[in-house]
Amino acid sequence: ILNVEQSPQSLHVQEGDSTNFTCSFPSSNFYALHWYRWETAKSPEALFVMTLNGDEKKKGRISATLNTKEGYSYLYIKGSQPEDSATYLCAFKRSTGNQFYFGTGTSLTVIP
């Protein structure tokens, strides 16, 4: 079983704060790294699909970076809003096989 780790496990921030979390994955046989947002009572939704070392993706106030050589990705949220409260999941796909390996997620709570 392949190990994908996310930190921190949970985070509480004040509205307006910027925050970031980490996803660590094996640096060998890299194919893709996905980020998903999972709000309570909804299904996970894709934020980013990252495939190249050095990739930077941005969607509104959320951005992500990727370092495949050292095996990590950062997700940044600028000026957190209460609607950003969710669990953020990363999923690693390697070049061999068709499985996605998920981290345990980071639970973000933005306090108004």
Decide if 21 contacts 37 (C-beta within 8 A): no
Rule CB under 8 A: say whether 43 interacts with another protein: yes
| Single residue of 86, 89, 108, 110 touching another protein by CB under 8 A | 89
Residue 90 DSSP class: E
Q: Is residue 32 a contact residue for another protein (CB under 8 A)? A: yes
96 binds another protein (CB under 8 A): no
Task: Establish if 72 lies at the interface with another protein (CB under 8 A).
Answer: no
Compose the 2-21 pattern: x for residues touching another protein by CB under 8 A, - for all others.
--x-----------------
* Pairing mode, strands 86-94 and 72-77: unpaired
**Measured between alpha carbons, how far is 59 from 76 in angstroms, rounded to an integer?**
10
Instruction: Answer yes or no whether residue 44 interacts with another protein by CB under 8 A.
Output: yes
CB-wise, 38 or 76, nearer to another protein? 38
Structure tokens at 56: 């930077």
Task: Decide: 23 and 6 in contact? Cβ < 8 Å.
Answer: yes
